[in-house]
Amino acid sequence: MNKIATIDNNPKPGKVGRISRRVRHAVDLLASGECKTQKAAAERAGLSPERLCRALKEVKVQEYRDRQTRVSLANASITAAATLNWLLEHAKSEHCRKDVAVTLLGYSGVHANPTSGPVVNIGIGGGVGYVIDLSGPGDTRDSHPMLDVTPNREGER
């Protein structure tokens, strides 16, 4: 009986590279919003803009950036929720309060009309606008005649 060795298709994880303190500081400055541009973040972190640009292309730095972005958004969501609650209670505009209420209900999974999707209007006939030919190859006009669906007025035939 032959014994065949199984092949492990899962590659072994490589070494996780270290991110320099300056690059981490520049990413933190960008994630927090303290610096609006990469150039400003590089200058404050003591890096050249070119070095920061190269570092931001590395996978390990992208993972760190994504992690810091998630942390920043999680912290901001608390403030955003408090702002929405304040607007729901104290906004002078009924329109604003309605929009906030719809937003909060949407986050809770309650939707005004869950079956409504995108609205598509299909015009049949030669009216104003564009005519889109949906016939396939080999189809002729005679195989799919145009139907007049205009309703008749009472008394006309």
How does DSSP assign 55-124, residue by residue?
HHTSHHHHHHHHHHHHHHHHHHHHHHHHHHHHHHHH-S-HHHHHHHHHHHHHHTT--S-TT---------
Q: How far apart are CA 101 and CA 53, in angstroms?
A: 42
Domains in the chain: boundaries: 21-107
Average pLDDT for residues 91-100, to the nearest whole number? Answer: 90
Average pLDDT for residues 3-18, to the nearest whole number? Answer: 63
Q: How far apart are CA 42 and CA 26, in angstroms?
A: 6
- Select the more confidently predicted residue: 130 or 103: 103
pLDDT score of 117: 59
